[in-house]
Amino acid sequence: MTEIEKMNESEELLHNSNTRRAFLGRVAVAGLGVAALGLVAPSEVVAATQPKQPEADTGHDYPMAKPHAMTEAQFRKGVIGPAMLSLLTSQIAVDKATNPQALEFANFELREAIGVTTVLKSLKTPVPPMSPVAKAILEKIKSTPKGADFDKAYITAQLANHEFLRDLANSYLANSAGHTSMAEMHGRHLATLTLGVFKEHIVHTKNILHMMSA
């Protein structure tokens, strides 16, 4: 495809309201700088990649210390522990969850955790020893009998896990602003993509817990 054809395709996408946000998201994640291309204003890029969503942006109800990451290596190391915990607890939940929404979430979360941990391991990310907090959470999930108490314990643990991961991604993105090395650019792309997923899962788990309490 020639450069002119590429530009024509881009203009067609921009005029299609149903694909505009998806186009901006793909370009922003790829690090192509749509504002620099003159296609949109910088404020539109921010709006496309950082929409305001109070349900996803608020809440810090996790037992771990608040995360802090300065480099992509620290971000990856911070993600892999909680991702392993999600994998282990979700493996249990796909067999023990009885609430339909909790079971559906467990199946999605298990596939995601397998994917995330596989990618992180391929990047030579070391798997840290399981912390006492993580061990306690895993033991609670293992020992809680099947039923409403188990469903609530599992979803509560997932909410805490994803709030922690959201804050970790936010910390790294804030602290790495301006870093220009290829490794940090890739790290920021990974953090940007996963931050959206972490926030989505926060909203889902909050909704499931609210439904369980109704």
Over residues 172-176, mean pLDDT: 94
What is the model's pLDDT at position 11? 44
Q: At 136, which CATH number?
A: 1.20.1260.10
Give pLDDT, residue 42.
42
Domain range for 198 is 54-213
- 40-78: pLDDT as tens digits: 444 443 444 566 677 788 888 788 889 999 999 999 999
**Alpha-carbon torsion, ordered 154, 158, 161, 167, to 10 deg:** -150
Same domain, 100 and 36: no
Q: What is the arithmetic mean of pLDDT over 139-151?
A: 97
For residues 127 and 195, membership in a common domain is answered with yes
Enter the DSSP assignment of 111: H
Considering the domain architecture, whether residues 105 and 39 belong to the same structural domain is answered as no
- Pair (158, 109) in one structural domain: yes
Task: For residues 74 and 43, state if they share a domain.
Answer: no
- In this predicted structure, the answer to whether residue 8 has a pLDDT above a threshold of 60 is no
Give pLDDT tens digits for 190-202.
Answer: 999 999 999 999 9
Overall domain count for the chain: 2
**43 plus 64 within the same structural domain:** no
CA distance 3 to 6: 5
> Are residues 24 and 60 part of one domain?
no
101 and 197 belong to one structural domain: yes
Q: Where are the beta strands (DSSP E) in 91-168?
A: none
In this structure, are 39 and 98 located in the same domain?
A: no
Kindly tell me if the per-residue pLDDT of 34 is higher than 70: no
Statement to judge: residues 67 and 11 lie in one domain: no
